[in-house]
Structure 1
Amino acid sequence: MKKVFVYLLVLIGILFSKGLYADDLRSGMSFYYRQLDNRNGLSNSSVNTILQDKDQLLWIGTWDGLNRYDGAQFNVYNHNIDQAENSIGSNVIQAINEDNAGNIWVNTIGGISKYHKSSGKFYRYFYRSSTSKKISENEFELAINAKGEVYCYSAEGVLSKYNIAEDKFITYQKFVGESGIAKMYFHDNLLWCLNKKGDLSVYQTKGNQLKVVKKISEKVLNFFIVNNHIIYSLNNNSHFKINADYKIQQIDIDQKRIKTIAFYKNNYVIAWENQGIGIYDNQFKPSSILQAETKRLENLKITALKVSHNEVLWLGTDGNGLIQIYPKENYFGLLTKISGNPINKPIRSFSEVNQNLWVGTKGNG
């Protein structure tokens, strides 16, 4: 009897593949909107940064603690002055990265912390016993290239490279005054750096010092790497795109200051510095996607964006925790008729046909 059910489903699959009638209940382009904050276990509702690691765990840096989210609950990592080995160096988390070995590198106020996931231990770099720095300052920039090499720039003007064998950072190059680095990222194994003068430079890191590949001296305010492009902004809030061959093209979007950018479902999601988001297609034309969600976010200050697996868009906010946006998907199509005739016999079985799963239910479908 079981074989009969399977054969019947295979027959249905063949007929259906030839274009016979079906009722498709798959939903359109609509999205779920979910908020997670300190009421759900997040250590603090002011989010600075978001990372999804190779194990698909979500890491959230806030103004009061490092959080790890597994889809069900938050684990919080806080600074403990009496347990340096088992705690992060500071509770103010400014950026999070992951190296090729799966270590989580965390920029905090006062230094850099590395979390070794398999042992659960924290390692600290650059921390001092006391500091008089303002809490809003970003004292450190950290970047990791495709080879897994970790570089760190400190506010003292020193670019250092992490030595795995010695477990310490070794001076790589020094900068003086306004030539110091304000922001840096690796892209295609080249180090992109924005200095305090507003120069955007591209470097090779071969050998013992940086080698300039390209320099843009236009009083650049900020830059972002998204969808394999470099997007940068000037002080007048005009915005430009740099292609792979370093050709520069101005993009026609709102003249607002950009906080961060993500590329989601073939669209650019841009968080503005003050509040709200803008959505543009891959040609930077206004997009109709996420209209309802954009309306809900218009009075929120978005501080971080991250596109994770399974088409989830995560937004960090200043005071409203995390926002999770993901498509409403119906993965089942309902077949109720064959050649115009209703299916009126109970079918209870499973079968795979051309990598599609067919499920026969007890009812009519």
Structure 2
Amino acid sequence: MSWVVKETASSVQNAEQFTTMRNTFRLCTLLFYISLSAPCGRAQGLDPAKSISQYSHQVWQTKDGLPQNSVNAIIQDRSGYLWLGTQEGLVRFDGVRFYVVDKKHVPDLESNYVWAIAEGSDSSLWIGTRGGGLLHLKGGKSRAYTTRDGLPSDIVVSLAFDSHDNLWIGTHEGGLTCFTAGDFRTYSTAEGLPSNTAQVLLRDSKERIWIGTGGGGLSCMVDGALSTFNRKQGLGSDIVTALHETRQGLLLIGTTDGVRVMKDGRITPFTVAGRKLAEVVLSIQEDRNGAIWFGMAGGGLVRVWKDRVDRFGTKEGLSDGLVRALFEDREGNLWIGTYGGGLNRFSEARFDSYTRSEGLSHDFILSICEDGQGAMWIGTYEGGLNRLKNGSITQVTTRDGLPMNTITSVCSDRSGAIWIGTNGKGLARLKEGRVTSYASPNDQNDHAVLCMLQDSRGQVWIGSNKGLSRWTGEFLETVNVFGDLPLSPVVALAESRAGHLWIGTDGGGLVRLKNGERTLLTRRDGLANDFVISLYEDGEG
């Protein structure tokens, strides 16, 4: 029978917005980003050295075109399309739009509830359903196989092809069956299968078929012969919920009692740094960079890489904590099918984000500078100063001698010292691990440092709500650039290639300091606005 697909509403790409705030500070951002230089060529996949929250994360739900928010199965076909199994039909996703295959459009489909999907060597699709048996789609034509055709159960929960293109079908309470040349060969408890619910199937690199059962443990099919492993052999639980073979040839076994690993026929608990993963695992995926992802029954995602374990659940932004399906596509993106939260995707972002999750003391950032060794210094609101280098973050706070923890400006000088401007308690310097606070000729109790600059002569200039100062090497010297005019806060500093100092003010216009002489430019001179919050010299000077 011929069939067509129905297009649903297109998904809308999420646009990230950043809010800026102006309150005599130059710039405040909620997230700090460093751009990546992504190499060309083969897709690199997800960098396991990053925290999960640093990946780009997208979610698609019914409002974006999914027919239903339970995603039970995910595959990618030879054409690059993703196919999803949901409770309301089979779905094809091209990255923009969802196309639905359901009973309305494919009369042979007797149930919209899709448990499993597999692609044959001829690029045809096989779909296991709950109550509707098995559906075959090829070249726009469909064919259903049910108990009327010899299928032992119409509830098909797992599918796998062997190397001879035979389709193995796991059913609920009907056992395991092999579909070859139009015939079904069924294995049940009568033939040695420990349970008639074959809920997980896996073909491994040695062409063996592994069967995870719903109460009888784990079985292995080799040349028609079955062998079984259960709690007596160390399985932990006889209810097997997930199977995955690693690139090292280890068999990972998810059960209702956590994860076990089989090596050379021996089953042991899966441990990381001596700790077991003892939660219920519903899905397992090893990505191309060697990180192993576990989909939990309520606990979201667990990622294991080397001796590191990271978690990502609903608190961190996952749309649902019950993860039924995991799949890595050809581009290295990780797709996550959830029970009630729709489809999630992790991909490498064009920017790395650093927040509290990565170790920042606060997400409200007021100032950033880079020192001569390539370390980034990040001033925060009430979180002190952070140093970021090679992904590692350390903090300097009032406990280390800072006069306060709200850092409005940071500057690195050529000696390696870090100058630290605060929002009310003036200036400090960090050098060789020691913090020194400097008195100001102004009242330091309300002295907010807003910008700093070291010029080509090595002089450090400090702009604040008290005007302009210069560090002489021993003390702060006030520099009067306003003459008899009212003092304005200095919020921006820049040195031109000609060696002139340009000073942007909060309401007092723009000042140029050249060889000790000042020139004031305001709206009366053609300046667009007397509030000058940033300065940049272009290629023409």
SS in 2 for 1:286: strand
Give the alignment of 1:32-111 within 5 angstroms.
32-80=56-104, 84=107, 87-110=108-131, 111=133
Could you tell me which amino acid in structure 2 is paired with residue 240 of structure 1? R
2:311 equivalent to 1:297 = no
Q: Aligned partners of 2:322, 2:186: CA distance in 1, in Å?
A: 37
Q: Equivalent residue for 1:142?
A: 159
Q: Aligned partners of 1:251, 1:298: CA distance in 2, in Å?
A: 27
Give the alignment of 1:124-273 within 5 angstroms.
124-126=144-146, 138-155=155-172, 157=174, 159-164=176-181, 168-176=182-190, 179-183=195-199, 184-188=201-205, 189-204=207-222, 206=223, 210-212=224-226, 215-218=229-232, 219-222=237-240, 223-228=242-247, 229-233=250-254, 235=256, 237-243=257-263, 245-252=264-271, 253-264=276-287, 265-273=289-297
Q: Aligned partners of 1:234, 1:80: CA distance in 2, in Å?
A: 37
> Structure 1 or 2: larger helix share?
1
C-alpha displacement of 1:280: 1.0
1:142-190 per-position Cα deviation (integer Å, ceiling 9, x unaligned):
32113321122444645433233xxx33224443495424233222311
Tell me: CA distance 1:157–1:317, structure 2 relative to 1, closer, same or farther (3 Å). Answer: closer
SS in 1 for 2:135: strand
- Indicate which of 143, 158, 163 corresponds to 1:123: 143
Q: Name stretches of at least 5 consecutive residues in structure 1 with no aligned partner.
A: 1-23, 331-362
Tell me: CA distance 1:326–1:45, structure 2 relative to 1, closer, same or farther (3 Å). Answer: same
SS in 1 for 2:179: strand
Query: Normalised by the size of structure 1, how large is the TM-score?
Result: 0.68
Q: Aligned partners of 1:147, 1:329: CA distance in 2, in Å?
A: 42
Tell me: CA distance 1:251–1:144, structure 2 relative to 1, closer, same or farther (3 Å). Answer: same
1:269-308 per-position Cα deviation (integer Å, ceiling 9, x unaligned):
111112311111145x424xx8699822285322211111
The answer to which of 293-302 and 39-48 deviates more is: 293-302
Contact 1:278–1:294, Cα closer than 8 Å, also in 2:
no
Contact 2:314–2:320, Cα closer than 8 Å, also in 1:
no
Q: Aligned partners of 1:152, 1:248: CA distance in 2, in Å?
A: 25
1:210-250 per-position Cα deviation (integer Å, ceiling 9, x unaligned):
21356445443214114243222455x2432113x223332
Larger RCO, structures 1/2 (Cα 8 Å, 6+ apart): 1
Structure 1 vs Structure 2 CA RMSD:
3.3
Q: Aligned partners of 1:260, 1:193: CA distance in 2, in Å?
A: 15
Q: Equivalent residue for 1:345?
A: none
Give the alignment of 1:333-348 within 5 angstroms.
none
Q: Aligned partners of 1:320, 1:151: CA distance in 2, in Å?
A: 30
SS in 2 for 1:320: coil
Q: Equivalent residue for 1:343?
A: none
Tell me: CA distance 1:152–1:292, structure 2 relative to 1, closer, same or farther (3 Å). Answer: closer
Q: Equivalent residue for 2:342?
A: 321
Q: Aligned partners of 1:195, 1:46: CA distance in 2, in Å?
A: 22
Contact 1:276–1:294, Cα closer than 8 Å, also in 2:
no
Q: Aligned partners of 1:294, 1:271: CA distance in 2, in Å?
A: 15
Tell me: CA distance 1:174–1:292, structure 2 relative to 1, closer, same or farther (3 Å). Answer: closer
C-alpha displacement of 1:323: 0.8
Q: Aligned partners of 1:108, 1:67: CA distance in 2, in Å?
A: 13
SS in 2 for 1:89: coil
Could you tell me which amino acid in structure 2 is paired with residue 180 of structure 1? N
Tell me: CA distance 1:179–1:278, structure 2 relative to 1, closer, same or farther (3 Å). Answer: closer
Query: Normalised by the size of structure 2, how large is the TM-score?
Result: 0.48
| TM superposition outliers: structure 1 runs of 4+ over 6 Å | 290-294
1:95-124 per-position Cα deviation (integer Å, ceiling 9, x unaligned):
1111111111111012011111xx211110
Contact 1:178–1:196, Cα closer than 8 Å, also in 2:
no
Q: Aligned partners of 2:300, 2:36: CA distance in 1, in Å?
A: 33
Q: Equivalent residue for 1:26?
A: 37
Give the alignment of 1:344-355 within 5 angstroms.
none
Q: Aligned partners of 2:338, 2:228: CA distance in 1, in Å?
A: 34
Q: Equivalent residue for 1:6?
A: none
Larger radius of gyration: 2
Tell me: CA distance 1:282–1:138, structure 2 relative to 1, closer, same or farther (3 Å). Answer: farther
Tell me: CA distance 1:46–1:239, structure 2 relative to 1, closer, same or farther (3 Å). Answer: closer
Q: Aligned partners of 1:258, 1:308: CA distance in 2, in Å?
A: 21
Identical aligned residues as a percent:
21
Q: Equivalent residue for 1:112?
A: 134
Contact 1:45–1:317, Cα closer than 8 Å, also in 2:
yes
Contact 1:49–1:62, Cα closer than 8 Å, also in 2:
yes
Q: Aligned partners of 2:228, 2:345: CA distance in 1, in Å?
A: 38
1:123-145 per-position Cα deviation (integer Å, ceiling 9, x unaligned):
1001669xxx9xxx955543211
Q: Name stretches of at least 5 consecutive residues in structure 2 with no aligned partner.
A: 1-34, 39-46, 352-538
